[in-house]
Amino acid sequence: MNIKVIKNLNNDVDSKDVIKNLKDDGVVVVNSFLDKNYILDFRSELFSIYNQMKPNYQFGKIIRSDDKSLKLEKIPIIADFFKKNLWMKEIIKNYMGDQAVCHRDFFFII
């Protein structure tokens, strides 16, 4: 079993360093990427969806961003944050290339 090393980076790190770590290890943890207010807002948006969902997974419920029924209008704070975050856009574009899309295997863990 090959366990990936998690690199701890601050969001003032050059996006090229983040991409290198993603390519090398497959995982990057970005310290202080979201402040507490955003985390609380994200959590609130996601719970408002989650609490209205029917079970859709063998263990209960899961919110997946590649779910076509998850409309960005339902998560305006999350959508707006990532739309305006040029640093993250650069990382996504340079790491995923032409496959960079908003709905791609991201899992919201709440």
Q: 67-96: per-residue pLDDT in tens?
A: 777 888 888 998 888 888 888 888 878 887
Q: 94-109: per-residue pLDDT in tens?
A: 887 766 555 444 444 4
Q: What's the confidence (pLDDT) of residue 104?
A: 44
Pairing of strands 7-10, 28-31: parallel
CB 94 within 8 A of CB 19: yes
Q: 13-43: per-residue pLDDT in tens?
A: 888 888 888 888 878 887 777 888 888 999 9
